[in-house]
Amino acid sequence: MFAIQEKTNLLVILLTNSDKSVIPMFATKITNKIFTIVVPFILLLEDWEYCLKLANLFYNVFKPNMHNFSNIFIILTITDIIVMFDFAKVIGYSFTNCIFRGLVLNKVYKVYVLRDFRIYIRSI
């Protein structure tokens, strides 16, 4: 309840095939704010695209040199992109303008050990 009211952060850890993907889909509908879904591989990004199309939800895939999210509330990206300055800049802009709500890390457990990611996190 507090997470819906934006009074606390929420960490959800569920088993494989437990329909975790509905959480950001539902959350973006009730908050009207941006959720970014980060996956480690293109194939997982394509799986998300398939699920979002089935749910009739609009989304965008973050690409380098994007300047904003253009009123799309679900943004998909891969871990290679989140270490880029362009991504941090757009997230910062969206957060400052109170339209960014959450970052969903889907199957990215290996990201935290990558040197580029650790350097990026220290620079924020």
State whether residue 74 is helix, strand or coil: strand
Query: 102 lies in which domain range?
Result: 22-123
Sheet with strand 34-39: strands edge to edge: 60-61, 74-78, 34-39, 100-105
Number of compact structural domains in the chain: 1
Indicate if the pLDDT at residue 35 is higher than 80. yes
Rounded Cα distance between 88 and 97, Å, is: 14
Greater confidence, 59 or 3? Answer: 59
Report pLDDT digits (tens) over 46-99: 998 998 999 888 888 988 887 777 677 888 888 877 777 788 888 887 878 777
CATH of the domain at 103: 3.40.50.300
In a domain, 11, yes or no: no
Query: Is residue 8 in some structural domain?
Result: no
**Does residue 2 fall inside a structural domain?**
no
